[in-house]
Amino acid sequence: SLPNIILLFADDLGFGDLGCYGHPSSKTPNLDKLAAHGLRFTDFYSTSPVCSPSRASLLTGRYQTRSGIYPGVFYPGSKGGLPLNETTIAEVLKPLGYTTAIVGKWHLGLGPNRTFLPIHQGFDHFLGVPYSHDQGPCQNLTCFPPDIKCYGKCDQGVVYLPLFLNDTIKQQPVHFPDLVAFYNKFATEFISTSLKREQPFFLYYASHHTHYPQFAGEGATGKSLRGPFGDALLEFDQTVGALMTALEVNGAQNNTFVFFTSDNGPELMRMSRGGNSGLLKCGKGTTYEGGMREPAIAHWPGKIQAGVTHELGSTLDLLPTIAGLVQAKLPKVQLDGYDMRDILFKHRKSRREVMFYYPTDPSENLGVFAVRLRKYKAHYYTRGASHSDTTPDQACHLNAFLTRHDPPLLFDLESDPSENYSLGPSHPDYKDVLQEIQARKEEFEKTMVFGESQIGMGSDPELQPCCNPQCIPKPSCCACS
Ligand SMILES: O=[N+]([O-])c1ccc(O)c(OS(=O)(=O)O)c1
Ligand SMILES: [Mg+2]
């Protein structure tokens, strides 16, 4: 029978943030258990150091440049979105009789008449928020019960954060302390209803955790050792536990493929309220390892043997892997992902030997900033980012301006995962590796056709979601409890 599929996607969670990835004070027992009984990846990559492009690649199996999801991310009034002619994992599964749902953060556009919402991208159900939860005023909102206000101001001058059910606004602003309980009730009911109907389901749970500003309900507030960030992370971990319990009580654990990962590196500029990339260099907004190497776990009892893999994997590989699992036809478009079943079921080598790193704002002029080939990584361009500012490492800062490297910087990520010690011509593999990387890069960029920039289409205040559209003055009057 067709397996159920659960995709767990965290937000701005770093490579070093989970207990099973070595963080000393995070409390993540459910994710640690998933890793202990599943396959934990040490070399898994997103395709962008920020959110919208990373999510586009996850759902389409194509680099964000092809679908036009660049530069940066979508905003409340954005005109563009993930083009409807892109095929998502949900749309690959629908024809096979799957029921599909997304819970949490969308961030792939709203647009005129909300045409880009998930219900138009293969999802039968959507309960969530159309973009980042800091893209709406938050300074007077409660982030932690009973009335601890959110830290900082978030985006000003736009509508309060809206909670959508399908294409209808249920609440504006969302009530953070209750939000995840509401999500989890919806998600576990979706699971049990689908199972009772013996209908295979695809659940894409895109958590807001641990993106700024951190929030949590009473079940997690003050219950971690790591302050607000740790409490938010604990609430996400509790969600993982609730979803796995829903599978167990319905006897579906052994027929469900669960995959967990995160969209981009940690927002280091938040300091102790930000995530941690472990020993990887820098974080969100950069093409150093800390910006795009993510924690990742695959779990399917009886099919995936427990263990750790150092094979290369990417969010690009989820669509082809899921299509392979269910014997679905692949979309007839240029895909950039590889089927990971050899890694998952046979602990064999990955079909992926290369990963291309685009910055937050890809351009045809500069092209890819970095390339990983097996254990080596070459940087053609390096640049810091505001999201990775405040670190002791100056290379991560906003004022670390764009630098071209010719010849490219070359690192051996096995012996030097922190990208501290670049290799020179004296290294025996230097010449051959750089030559092969250059060849792979040229070959890839020959196939790369940039789609029209969706984010470049700009914004229109009228498109900002407002629960009572006739109200004045906008945007502050858009509020319904
Ligand atoms: O890149 N950005 O300009 C950007 C803006 C607002 C965000 O909330 C954000 O965070 S992200 O959406 O998780 O990537 C990123
Ligand atoms: Mg993000």
* Whole-number pLDDT of residue 338: 98
Match 């695959």 to its residue by tokens. 298
Q: Please answer whether residues 4 and 257 qualify as being in contact, where contact means their C-beta atoms are separated by less than 8 angstroms.
A: yes
Q: Please answer whether residues 294 and 396 qualify as being in contact, where contact means their C-beta atoms are separated by less than 8 angstroms.
A: no
Whether residue 32 has its Cβ less than 6 Å from ligand 1: no
Token pair for residue 242? 């609730």
Average pLDDT over residues 460-474: 97
pLDDT at 195 over 90: yes
3-state helix/strand/coil string of the chain: CCCEEEEEEECCCCCCCCHHHCCCCCCCHHHHHHHHHCEEEEEEECCCCCHHHHHHHHHHCCCHHHHCCCCCCCCCCECCECCCCCCCHHHHHHHHCCEEEEEEECCCECCHHHCCCHHHCCCCEEEEECCCCCCCCCCCCEEECCCEECCCCCCCCCCCCCEEECCEEEEECCCHHHHHHHHHHHHHHHHHHHHHCCCCEEEEEECCCCCCCCCCCCCCCCCCCCHHHHHHHHHHHHHHHHHHHHHHHCCCHHHEEEEEEECCCCCHHHHHHCCCCCCCCCCCCCCCHHHHEEEEEEECCCCCCCEEECCCEEHHHHHHHHHHHHCCCCCCCCCCCCCCHHHHHHCCCCCCCEEEECCCCCCCCCCCCEEEECCEEEEEEECCCHHHCCCCCHHHCCCCCCEEEEEEEEEECCCCCCCCCCCCCCCCCHHHHHHHHHHHHHHHHHHCCCCCCCHHHCECHHHCCCCCCCCCCCCCCCCEC
**CA of 211, closest atom in ligand 1:** 13
Q: Which of 20, 23, 37, 107 is catalytic?
A: 107
Whether residue 73 has its Cβ less than 6 Å from ligand 1: yes
How far apart are the CA of 297 and the centre of ligand 2, in A?
18
Average pLDDT over residues 369-392: 98
How far apart are the CA of 11 and the centre of ligand 2, in A?
4
d(CA 377, CA 373): 6
Token pair for residue 74? 């979508």
Among protein residues, the one whose CA lies closest to atom 13 of ligand 1: 51
Candidate of 9, 12, 46, 50 to mutate for ligand 1, largest count of ligand atoms within 8 Å of Cβ: 50
Among protein residues, the one whose CA lies closest to atom 11 of ligand 1: 51
Whether residue 11 has its Cβ less than 6 Å from ligand 1: yes
Average pLDDT over residues 22-43: 98
* Whole-number pLDDT of residue 234: 98
Of the chain, the percentage scoring pLDDT greater than 90 comes to: 99
Average pLDDT over residues 375-402: 98
pLDDT at 251 over 90: yes
Candidate of 9, 13, 46, 51 to mutate for ligand 1, largest count of ligand atoms within 8 Å of Cβ: 51
Candidate of 73, 135, 270 to mutate for ligand 1, largest count of ligand atoms within 8 Å of Cβ: 73
Q: Please answer whether residues 252 and 177 qualify as being in contact, where contact means their C-beta atoms are separated by less than 8 angstroms.
A: no
Whether residue 296 has its Cβ less than 6 Å from ligand 1: no
Among protein residues, the one whose CA lies closest to atom 5 of ligand 1: 73
Instruction: Give the confidence band of 481 by pLDDT, cuts at 50, 70, 90.
Output: confident
Q: Which residue(s) pair with 357 in the sheet?
A: 370
How far apart are the CA of 211 and the centre of ligand 1, in A?
9
Average pLDDT over residues 242-259: 98
Whether residue 72 has its Cβ less than 6 Å from ligand 1: yes
pLDDT at 269 over 90: yes
User: Rounded mean pLDDT of the chain?
Assistant: 98
pLDDT tens readout for residues 120-143: 999 999 999 999 999 999 999 999
How far apart are the CA of 435 and the centre of ligand 1, in A?
35
The reply to whether omega before 475 is within 30° of 0 (cis) is: yes
pLDDT at 48 over 90: yes
pLDDT at 253 over 90: yes
Whether residue 134 has its Cβ less than 6 Å from ligand 1: yes
How far apart are the CA of 151 and the centre of ligand 1, in A?
17
Quote the distance between the C-alpha of residue 178 and its chain's center.
23
Checking phi first, is residue 403 left (phi over 0); if not, alpha (psi -120 to 50) or beta? beta
Q: Which of 51, 138, 150, 467 is catalytic?
A: 51
pLDDT tens readout for residues 4-18: 999 999 999 999 999
pLDDT at 430 over 90: yes
Instruction: Give the confidence band of 347 by pLDDT, cuts at 50, 70, 90.
Output: confident
* Whole-number pLDDT of residue 332: 98
Average pLDDT over residues 12-39: 98
Token pair for residue 229? 């960030």
Average pLDDT over residues 183-194: 98
Q: Any catalytic annotation for residue 143?
A: no
* Whole-number pLDDT of residue 212: 98
Of the chain, the percentage scoring pLDDT greater than 70 comes to: 100
Q: Please answer whether residues 235 and 217 qualify as being in contact, where contact means their C-beta atoms are separated by less than 8 angstroms.
A: yes
Instruction: Give the confidence band of 34 by pLDDT, cuts at 50, 70, 90.
Output: very high
Whether residue 102 has its Cβ less than 6 Å from ligand 1: no
How far apart are the CA of 284 and the centre of ligand 1, in A?
9
Burial status of residue 474 (CB atoms within 10 A of its CB: 0-12, 13-18, 19 or more): middle
How far apart are the CA of 411 and the centre of ligand 2, in A?
26
Q: Which residue(s) pair with 172 in the sheet?
A: 480
pLDDT at 52 over 90: yes
